[in-house]
Amino acid sequence: MQNLDVIFKRLPKLMMGFILIAIGTNIMKASKLGLNSWGAFNEGLTVITGISFGRINQMIGIAVLIIAIFIKIYPGIGTILNMYFIGLFIDIVDSLTFIGIPEDMPTRLIYLFVGLFIFHLGGYMYMSCELGCGPRDSLMIGLIKITGKPVSYIRTIIEATVLVLGILLGGTFGIGTIVNTFLGGPLLGAIYKFFKFDPKKINQINLFSLNKQSA
């Protein structure tokens, strides 16, 4: 039952990471300079289907999770909670309208960079709990382990690919999208380095190891 004790102790930090991701996403969206690549992809699907931004986020998460499992990155409790709560928190933060919409370009640029930082800080925070990576981060970790390439490289490749798909679907495209795509990976790598977090050495508690211990 030791794993269960660890999970409950780390849940508050995990949820705070999700909240930061949701806040960062909405701040970047409010800048109207273009979402991150996954946001552009989600928005494109929202335009086509009429499904809410947060709900689309959840649905894409399931699809990416399946791909991650095929490359042997298995889900944990954090993965499941990620798929539900980030989308929920995105919609809640959006409905509260406390972020506001900036009018002048300098403020919009501040929104963009602050949102980008908060987003990736939240990503580090929840991943450092080692309770299972979210679908997109699971894919990233899997590719890092397979290729041996640094997070800045792998993240940028993934973001650029998703961005192209998002643009084709009609998602928001702007200077912010470019900044997110090509600065996000290096920024995430810098945050990992600052906190001395190596994604290649992550030892997460996945659902299969939890079941074995319980048995």
**What residues does each domain of the chain span?**
1-199
- Among 23, 17, 18, 53, CA closest to 38: 53
Other CB atoms within 10 Å distance of the CB of residue 104: 8
What is the Cα Rg of the chain in Å?
17
Position 68, amino acid: A
Q: What pairs with residue 206 in β-bridges? A: 76
Q: Of 123, 135, 138, whose CA–CA distance to 189 is shortest?
A: 123
Residues 166, 41: contact at Cβ < 8 Å?
yes
The secondary structure of residue 200, as a DSSP letter, is G
Task: Give, for all 215 residues of the chain, the pLDDT tens digit.
Answer: 557 788 889 999 999 999 999 999 899 888 888 767 887 888 889 988 888 887 887 788 889 889 988 888 888 899 889 878 988 998 899 888 778 888 899 999 999 999 999 999 999 999 999 998 888 899 999 899 899 899 999 999 999 999 899 888 888 778 988 898 999 999 999 999 999 998 888 778 877 666 555 44
**CB atoms < 10 A from the CB of 190, how many?**
13
